[in-house]
Amino acid sequence: MSTRQLPGLLLASLAALSTAGPATASNLIDATYGAGVGSFEVGSFAPRGTGNFNFQSLLGGATTITGWLVGGVGVDWLSTPNYGASDGLHAVDLGYYDAGAGSMAISVPTVIGATYALSFDAAAVPGFPSYHNAGTVSAGSFTAAFAPGYSPLNDFEGQVFEAQQFSFVATSAHTTLTFAASVADTSYGPVIDNVSISLSALPVPEPAVAWLWLAGLAAMPALRRLSARRQRADNAA
């Protein structure tokens, strides 16, 4: 490559970065798997019964809730009107009905080095000590703990959801998001709903591109001098 090509290369690089677009608020989970997937609304819901049994217990390995893989012992897929949801009809209790901590995982395509906003709503299971409601969320190498506050005693319909917001930088072309209950021997874990991952910022330009740009700028005066010398030589000839 000649030094003459550098300014053109720089412009092309900047154009590629700028046309990649501004941050978008769309939910990557729904964009990848379908509307409502981030909110646990999609799948074949088959409750254990009516009233307080208006939930479906799913063992580890289950893929009943579209897009999501159940891990650990299992989880309970809750339904309104007997259990509260922060969005739509369903939420997930990360504890399995017959006792045991569970987890929920989903993978979305990501851009390495880009920053993503992660948000979800979490509620404490009513009437149980707060430690039962501790959970962790991870996305690639990012991990955070969350612990929603205490909900009113025995008011399962009135579970109080609290917005949880984090951000992470993707380290892989696909990022797996995982929620897990922290207490092993409980039938009740934190309840989660309305999960969203959205792009916040694209990666900054690689240092190599920046150095190329600086090298191009530094070469400009020398190129101009060379050009002027050639012009004088041509004129003298």
Q: Which residues form the interface with Ca ion (CB under 5 A)?
A: 39-40, 85, 87-88, 90, 193
C-alpha span between 77 and 64 (Å, rounded): 10
Measured from the CB atom, the residue of 110 and 196 that comes closer to Ca ion is 196
Nearest Cα to Cα of residue 39 among 199, 198, 192, 159: 192
Measured from the CB atom, the residue of 31 and 89 that comes closer to Ca ion is 89
Minimum distance between the CB of residue 104 and Ca ion, rounded to whole angstroms? 12
Angle in degrees, CA 59, 62, 63, rounded to 5:
155
Minimum distance between the CB of residue 3 and Ca ion, rounded to whole angstroms? 58
The Cα-based distances of 32 to 60, 107, 139, 196 in angstroms read 23, 9, 16, 12
Minimum distance between the CB of residue 149 and Ca ion, rounded to whole angstroms? 19
Residue with smallest beta-carbon separation from Ca ion: 39
The tokens for 66 are 């579209």
Measured from the CB atom, the residue of 65 and 73 that comes closer to Ca ion is 65
Per the CB < 8 A criterion, the answer to whether 113 and 203 are in contact is: yes
Minimum distance between the CB of residue 125 and Ca ion, rounded to whole angstroms? 16
Measured from the CB atom, the residue of 189 and 216 that comes closer to Ca ion is 189
| Rounded CA Rg of the chain | 26
Q: Which residues pair with 199 in a beta bridge?
A: 116
Minimum distance between the CB of residue 85 and Ca ion, rounded to whole angstroms? 4
Minimum distance between the CB of residue 191 and Ca ion, rounded to whole angstroms? 10
Minimum distance between the CB of residue 220 and Ca ion, rounded to whole angstroms? 58
Measured from the CB atom, the residue of 85 and 139 that comes closer to Ca ion is 85
Backbone angles phi, psi at 169, to 5 degrees: -105, 125
Measured from the CB atom, the residue of 39 and 186 that comes closer to Ca ion is 39
Nearest Cα to Cα of residue 67 among 112, 118, 111, 27: 27
C-alpha span between 133 and 183 (Å, rounded): 8
Per the CB < 8 A criterion, the answer to whether 83 and 159 are in contact is: yes
| Amino acid type, 131 | Y
Measured from the CB atom, the residue of 77 and 213 that comes closer to Ca ion is 77
